[in-house]
Chain A
């Protein structure tokens, strides 16, 4: 235990392990978030979605996980910042000629930039929904479902995504997320030491599909609403 306490996450390898843990945790959050939001595609005027949003907003376990999630994002970002600054220090003199594409993917080399774009998107996104639901109120009247009153999160979605530039911001956010995950998904397994001749190709394929479909489903939400496919 004392060796454990003696700075597991302060060494280079430990920092990667922290990155891997937080990355996979954020991925697991994306799955839940995407599954719940996809209920809007039932196209029932938001009935199922509002009920799900109500559950997420009031269930004690989910509320605790919300705090863990914020902690996870902050830990992820702080570690990413440390990693990036360490690299700057270790690699202070640049080559006159560097043929990056001959040895790696551009999105693997630009994770910091992609992460920063995601962070900018997250701020906009949290202000659009989460901050209002928690603090200021949604500013639209509640709805009645089966004789019970619910916050109209669905109505809020329709309102937010009726504005063209907001839809564009969300699409750009999801493209950044797609490339971040295209590297990040398999990278997290590698960081945690899970590389195996048999399983790594499966992880890489899963990662690619995940990186395409999850952001695509998310992006289709504002698109479908903006173009009036969902009422």
Chain B
């Protein structure tokens, strides 16, 4: 396949960025989107040019590092996959593909397609944990957990924190991420203990970090590579209201 890539290039946080156009020849349809970038970068390095900076780690859809805004959508045109799992066969030969970094005030661009997502870490630090005073470890099977609760916690724990929800939201709201991180814990007995303070602290931190307010367009659900449901956001609103009222 032969493609034309329009890619956002930006030297550093403070530099003004702009789009650069790169023709890429002989791309295999079996390459992943990131492999295609490796291929292009090799070419740039051989030519003595600066390679394009982008995030990646696991390249198997579980770490949440990769983060590209491809042709107007988070992680590209295929629902339910991350950029690293997107393959070039999902594009047409001769296509022009526009690639941008995540855009949100809380995710400033560091370089090219790399954004600073430490605001997510700060939200986690505000309550995305269970406090345990360690002693002799208890046998896990002594705490009975219903299948429903386990499934609920599991579906919330699917969130890989990639930031696609924020990137896709017209308000740059992080509510899908934050609610997932809340119910990852709050659905289980160990996590229920701190449920009230957790929701209040995490919501407060989310606001402080400059994420916007949710307006229920559900773009986050549509673009989440793990297809997490906005039902989690409603549950968070409920938990927040209960925490405030009681």
**Which residues of B sit under 8 angstroms from A90, Cβ to Cβ?**
104-106, 171-173, 210-213
Tell me if B231 and A197 are in contact (CB < 8 A): yes
Interface positions of B from 122 to 179, Cβ below 8 Å from A: 168-173, 175
Residue of B nearest to A1 (CB): B245
Contact of B171 among A8, A87, A186 (CB under 8 A): A87
Q: Contacts A102-B222, A191-B237, A192-B238 given; 13 further ones with Cβ under 8 A?
A: A8-B245, A11-B204, A17-B241, A87-B173, A87-B212, A87-B215, A90-B173, A96-B19, A102-B77, A103-B218, A109-B170, A196-B231, A197-B231
Contact of A195 among B169, B212, B234 (CB under 8 A): B234
Residue of A nearest to B235 (CB): A193
Tell me if A8 and B215 are in contact (CB < 8 A): no
Contact of B217 among A86, A89, A105, A192 (CB under 8 A): A105
Contact string, B191-218, partner A, CB cutoff 8 A, digits 1/0?
0000000001001101100111111111
Tell me if A193 and B238 are in contact (CB < 8 A): yes
What's the Cα separation between A105 and B217 when bound, in Å? Answer: 7
Q: Is residue B103 within 8 Å, beta carbon to beta carbon, of the partner chain?
A: yes
Residue of A nearest to B242 (CB): A193
**Which residues of A sit under 8 angstroms from B106, Cβ to Cβ?**
90
A14 CB → nearest B CB, Å: 7
What's the Cα separation between A97 and B244 when bound, in Å? Answer: 40
Q: Is residue A136 within 8 Å, beta carbon to beta carbon, of the partner chain?
A: no
Tell me if B100 and A104 are in contact (CB < 8 A): no
Q: Is residue B23 within 8 Å, beta carbon to beta carbon, of the partner chain?
A: no
Contact string, A80-96, partner B, CB cutoff 8 A, digits 1/0?
00010011011111111
**Which residues of A sit under 8 angstroms from B77, Cβ to Cβ?**
102
Residue of B nearest to A99 (CB): B72
Q: Is residue A133 within 8 Å, beta carbon to beta carbon, of the partner chain?
A: no
What's the Cα separation between A86 and B211 when bound, in Å? Answer: 9
Q: Is residue B184 within 8 Å, beta carbon to beta carbon, of the partner chain?
A: no
Tell me if A104 and B222 are in contact (CB < 8 A): yes
Tell me if A98 and B216 are in contact (CB < 8 A): no
Tell me if A89 and B238 are in contact (CB < 8 A): no
What's the Cα separation between A200 and B234 when bound, in Å? Answer: 11
Contact of B103 among A4, A91, A111, A190 (CB under 8 A): A91
**Which residues of B sit under 8 angstroms from A183, Cβ to Cβ?**
216
Q: Is residue B240 within 8 Å, beta carbon to beta carbon, of the partner chain?
A: yes
**Which residues of B sit under 8 angstroms from A105, Cβ to Cβ?**
217
**A-B pairs with the 7 shortest C-beta distances?**
A193-B238, A90-B212, A99-B72, A195-B234, A87-B171, A103-B222, A103-B219
Contact of B73 among A16, A83, A99 (CB under 8 A): A99
**Which residues of B sit under 8 angstroms from A13, Cβ to Cβ?**
175, 203, 236-237, 240-241
**Which residues of B sit under 8 angstroms from A196, Cβ to Cβ?**
231
Contact string, B60-73, partner A, CB cutoff 8 A, digits 1/0?
00000000010111
